[in-house]
Amino acid sequence: MPSNSDVSEAASLIVPVSPNWLTFLSGRGGIALSFVWGLAEGTLFFVVPDVFLSLVAAVSPRNVWRHILSTVCGAVCAGALMYVWAEHNPVNAHTAVASVPFIPQAMFEQVKTGYQRRGLVAVFLGPLSGIPYKIYAIEAPGSFGLAQFSAATAPARAWRFILVCLFFGAAASLLRRKWRKTPKQLAMIHGVAWILFYSLYWGRITLKWSH
């Protein structure tokens, strides 16, 4: 009769034990990091939470919905903080956000114009133009109340996170099925994809907003 250790060893061959990084990523640690990333990017950090969320979607797609919710909560908190800051000290808030890499002054003017023409719908359209959410947050006081802005933040931030995760999840699923890619290989491909994306994005921002 096989011992417990023999059974455990056989089971590990059928269901490989997840690497530590993968366990962290899909568990509470990853969910907490999602919140922190959403909070940081909504304030003064310049790399979008999509980078982390898409990694979770690629290697642990069943758990990513929790990470999306956590990121959205962080974004809502960030938006409220930036709103209150701009309401009480607009000059300092503007100076701080303007010091974030790849945020030219012209973006602030476009956000103001967007609010005048489209109201809070402009927050939903921000990702399409590459304008960071933090600018919408500091330009909102005087046009919308905090409750209004916070209520719009959740769906305005969530729709892009969901689409990005669906895309990376589907791509990773294809890579797993056709080319037997491991989680580590998927993570490497994910990293290269985002490096290429940001190289093109920052280059585009520099060219578009430098005139």
Q: Tell me the pLDDT tens digit for each residue of 62-90.
A: 999 999 999 999 999 999 999 999 999 99
Query: Cα–Cα distance between 83 and 80 in angstroms, integer?
Result: 5
* Residue 123 token pair: 């927050």
* Residue 165 token pair: 């995760």
Query: Cα–Cα distance between 4 and 140 in angstroms, integer?
Result: 62
Query: Cα–Cα distance between 90 and 94 in angstroms, integer?
Result: 6
Quote the pTM value.
0.88
What residue type is assigned to position 70 of the chain?
A: S
DSSP state of 17: P
List the chain domain ranges: 4-209
Mean per-residue pLDDT of the chain: 90
Q: Tell me the pLDDT tens digit for each residue of 27-36.
A: 999 999 999 9
Q: Torsions phi, psi of 181, nearest 5?
A: -70, 135
DSSP state of 63: G
pLDDT tens-digit profile, the chain (211 residues) = 444 444 344 333 333 445 799 999 999 999 999 999 999 999 999 999 999 999 999 999 999 999 999 999 999 999 999 999 999 999 999 999 999 999 999 999 999 999 999 999 999 999 888 899 999 999 999 999 999 999 999 999 999 999 999 999 999 999 999 999 999 999 999 999 999 999 999 988 888 776 5
Give the residue among 155, 160, 172, 168 at the shortest CA–CA distance from 130: 160
Q: Torsions phi, psi of 203, nearest 5?
A: -65, -40
